[in-house]
Structure 1
Amino acid sequence: MTVVVKIGGARAVNPEGALADIAELDEDCVVVHGGSTAVDDTLDAMGKAPEYVETPSGVVGRFTDEETMDVFKMALPGLVNTDLVTGLQNAGVNAVGLSGVDGGLLTGKRKSAVRVVEDGKKKIRRGDHSGTIQEVNADLLETLLAGGYTPVASPPILADGTAVNTDADRAAAAVAGALGATLVVLTDVEGVYADPADPSTRIESVATSAEYDALTDAAEGFMTRKVMAATEALESGAREVVVASANADRPILTALDAGGTHIHPEALA
């Protein structure tokens, strides 16, 4: 079995426990990461405020203009990826850093314009440097895994010949689907909560269509994107998706056991 671990890029996510767990996994592992904090910090140092927009469906995401895209190329495959690879090497894991552009790992279609909601009105914003993944070079990942390496990958992706941003949760979902893997999405909460304000209402397992409907109804804010990514992963061939806390003791091992929220393919049937 292959495990794809998505490590979030938010400030509240500490990757150290996950890196230690990867060193103890018996299964092959691919790491996919984001880097929102590193990007925002770099933009702030440049005197530029990050810009987030809301889509008509209520999903909030980053608007990536040309200058922000340049920051992405510095921060994700540069700073964040190098730090994670260094941490894994120090833990005894022979990790290899990749961006989605390397070897055509993640390719797709660019969205130069996006639909947004501003002041209650639907508008079209142009000049966005983001894209949707359509293909994953699974052969590249499988070759690295067969050679004993642990790939550590992040956006950007290659879309219409240009490096563009994409959501890291959805990138992890695409990788997990292409490899038929279990996807562990590590974030700063313990799973999906039936009441988003009450951690005691964690949804433990989602295996029926009714449970899946309850899951999507409960997800809000940043969790909406993670549930969307879980759906895409399962629809494209992933074995299972677990949304769990990166800050728990033994976060990956706990998630693969009974921690977090486990979403099963039959829930989408």
Structure 2
Amino acid sequence: MTVVVKIGGARAVDPEGALSDIGSLIEAGEPVVVVHGGSTAVDETLERLDIEPDYVETPSGVVGRFTDAETMDVFKMVFGKLNVDLVTQLQAMGVNAIGLSGPDGQVLSGTRKSAVRVLEDGKRKIRRGDHSGTIESVNDDLLELLIEAGYTPVVTVPMYADEGTAVNSDADRAAAAVAGALGATLVELTDVSGVYRDPDDSTTRIETVESPAEFDELEAAAEGFMGRKVMAAEEALQSGATAVIIADANAEEPIHRALDGDGTTIRASALEEP
């Protein structure tokens, strides 16, 4: 069974343990695809360049980045560097990693949303000039070809848009699309150990989600950035993933621990009609 590992881009996430764990999985014969984020690094670079990051809220309450042309250039620069760094670290650990951004072989592709609906001061508005899009297709043939040849793909956005441009897309949703296309287990590594009923109390972690009622509880508990991860988990399961586990990137052997149940595990049965 293929494991898709999403390594978050939050400042508090240290990828070293996860990368070492990926090496152990591959040694044991488990195929792995890595998908990484990097929004914090983008924000830090924008700050150094004296460009103000622009976050907007959708009418449904999801907060995301508005990516204008200038921000898109920074985005490509930063994510390219992050991808090279992760591939280099994996190669140093003996993992034959290969970096892919969305346009490479159109591994991630879809439709650009040049205009987005946003909520400003309680009013719904349309903002134009956005360089973002929704992933609609994953080149799973390419990923499987690389895995069969002994490579470990390290995938990152931007995605390839149908009008022939590279545009921003959410890394959690990219990992969900990859996991769904490969029928894989998705391990979402972040800076907390799962979804908590009380966001300020780690002892309230939701351990397993196996029914629609439990999924409703999960959605109600997920706030802020965790809401995006739960939405991505739903997309992964709907498109063919076997399970999604949200777990702590900074734990010892974080991927093995997640696969052993140390995190919030969401199973496909959670989306079945009652």
Fold shared per TM-score above 0.5: yes
Residue identity in the other structure for 1:84: L
2:14 matched residue in structure 1: 14
| Cα deviation 1:64-105 (Å, max 9, x = unaligned) | 0000000111111x2110111111111110000010110010
Asked if 1:176 corresponds to 2:179, the answer is yes
- Percent of matched pairs sharing the same residue: 71
Describe the SS at the equivalent of 1:47: coil
Aligned partners of 2:134, 2:21: CA distance in 1, in Å? 30
Describe the SS at the equivalent of 1:215: helix
Aligned partners of 2:45, 2:175: CA distance in 1, in Å? 24
CA RMSD, 1 decimal: 0.6
2:61 matched residue in structure 1: 58
Match runs of 1:151-162 below 5 Å? 151-160=153-162, 161-162=164-165
Match of 1:235 among 224, 233, 238: 238
> Which stretches of structure 1, 4 residues or longer, exceed 4 Å deviation after superposition?
none
| Cα deviation 1:126-169 (Å, max 9, x = unaligned) | 10000001110000000100010000010000112110000000
Residue identity in the other structure for 1:125: R
Match of 2:76 among 66, 73, 76: 73
Aligned partners of 1:208, 1:120: CA distance in 2, in Å? 34
1:257 matched residue in structure 2: 260
Match runs of 1:32-111 below 5 Å? 32-76=35-79, 78-111=80-113
Describe the SS at the equivalent of 1:247: coil
Aligned partners of 2:201, 2:47: CA distance in 1, in Å? 32
Deviation at 1:121, TM superposition (A): 1.1
Residue identity in the other structure for 1:80: L
Residue identity in the other structure for 1:17: G
Aligned partners of 1:159, 1:112: CA distance in 2, in Å? 11
TM-score by length of 1: 0.99
Deviation at 1:249, TM superposition (A): 1.0
| Cα deviation 1:5-52 (Å, max 9, x = unaligned) | 000111111100000000000310000011112111111111101110
Aligned partners of 1:104, 1:181: CA distance in 2, in Å? 20
Flag structure 2 segments of 5+ consecutive residues without an equivalent: none
Describe the SS at the equivalent of 2:194: coil
| Cα deviation 1:186-219 (Å, max 9, x = unaligned) | 0000000011111100000000111111001100
Describe the SS at the equivalent of 1:144: helix
Aligned partners of 2:31, 2:138: CA distance in 1, in Å? 17
Match of 1:127 among 126, 129, 138: 129
Describe the SS at the equivalent of 2:24: coil
Describe the SS at the equivalent of 1:228: helix
